[in-house]
Structure 1
């Protein structure tokens, strides 16, 4: 997959190097030439440009990129401007870093696909989530076992947990389901917020867009999501 990471601070550089090590193509961007030079041998591509400049961003292969992540931290204005430009360009998946509740609210108003809070999410953990298509969040219990949040595959919508038989077929247990409900932020913009559906049973029916919370080995969960 191809990623564009904006900002080569600690978080952005760590994420860029981890994704590169995983075999992905990464275009890491920063306006600081010294940072670009520092990581040029550790990341697939490094580019020096101002991501708050729409004309400069137009030189990047945005249309052919799977995920754009705006990792700019302390420069609130540059973060919001870069995010808004990428949103206007219609990128496939847009993620942005927030450093405060207000920053998060503004990013929600812009309409990003996912907001990252670095104090809650390490670059290595995020890289693992990006590695598995469909995964929203993950928690490592050991080297082998994980608890994963992932969007339910469309083919299971309308089926019960008993009918899918994930435990027998994949050795994966469904712990609960998160179901999106519409809510509004302080600007009045509507967005979807997941609600925990509590303890599920074999009769619980999956709906399109549900988020599964499952437990199992990472390779088994990957088979469940993509077979």
Structure 2
């Protein structure tokens, strides 16, 4: 049985989520109050319907109870986003991811029990800023207040060295969790793995520690 998802709000973020989930072969229920947007995703989602997500009777009639994970991607209407999230919690949806417009919105979502809250524009801004400022960091993703995952290019400075010789954990407090070489990905590379120019190290650590390592190479 395929995993079932629902995306509520088919703006740029919700629409891209809908397409990405559908491309992975998952069942997606797409919901929006705008008929034009719903028609746009009718051929992409498993089901696309025009509906008011704050109406409990309507949502239950759509079988929302059977959905494993709901993404609330409602745009500017913060009230509708909050009411929808609250309704989903009352119905008993186990996983609810909500797009927040600002910090106040996020605080309310936390209080009413959203499982995950995201700020797509802010998060993307942070990622792009790191890519623009850094000469070696290809991508950057903050996964918690403590840990960040970054893709770091191997430079002339460390090319030819082994992971053991870099001694990253002791020197910088970082760990290499995987390495990309051309199209191949090596998970948990051994300490004797020798690095080559243009390899990409997938690293995890505190942002300040990753920055210290990046500045050293």
Q: Compute the TM-score of the two structures, normalised by the length of structure 2.
A: 0.58
- From 132, 135, 141, the equivalent of 2:151 is 141
Give 1:64 shift.
2.3
Following the alignment from structure 1 to structure 2, what is the Cα–Cα distance between the partners of residues 16 and 47? 13
Distance 1:47 1:216 in 2: 41
1:169-195 per-position Cα deviation (integer Å, ceiling 9, x unaligned): xxxxxx7xxxxxxxxxxxxxxxxxxxx
Shift of 1:38: 1.3
Q: 1:214 to 1:103 in 2, by over 3 A?
A: farther
Count of matched residue positions in the alignment of Structure 1 and Structure 2:
145
* CA offset digits 1:15-56 (Å, max 9, x no partner): 100110111111110011111111111222211100011111
Please, which runs of 5 or more residues in structure 1 have no aligned partner?
Answer: 123-135, 143-174, 176-197, 201-212, 222-227
| Residue aligning to 2:178 | 216
Larger Rg: 2
Match of 1:84 among 69, 82, 86: 86
RMSD (CA atoms): 3.0
CA 1:2–1:214 in structure 2 vs 1: closer, same or farther (change >3 Å)? farther
Kindly provide the CA deviation profile for residues 52-77 of structure 1, in whole angstroms up to 9, marking residues without a partner as x.
Answer: 11111111223322211110020011
Note the C-alpha offset of 1:199.
4.1
The reply to whether residue 75 of structure 1 matches residue 77 of structure 2 is yes
**Where does structure 1 differ by over 2 angstroms across 4 or more consecutive aligned residues?**
60-64, 136-142, 217-221
* Equivalent position of 2:57 in the other structure: 55
Q: Residue by residue, what CA displacement relative to the aligned partner does 1:134-158 show, whole Å, maximum 9, x if unpaired?
A: xx6885738xxxxxxxxxxxxxxxx
Normalization by structure 1: what TM-score? 0.56
After TM superposition, the structure 1 stretch with the greater mean CA deviation from structure 2, 6-15 or 43-52, is 43-52
The 3-state SS of whatever aligns with 2:108 is helix
Distance in 2 between residues matched to 1:4 and 1:79, nearest whole Å:
14
- Aligned-partner Cα distance in 2 for 1:79–1:115: 12
SS in 1 for 2:101: coil
Instruction: Show the counterpart of 1:31.
Output: 33
Task: Determine the structure 2 residue equivalent to 1:18.
Answer: 20
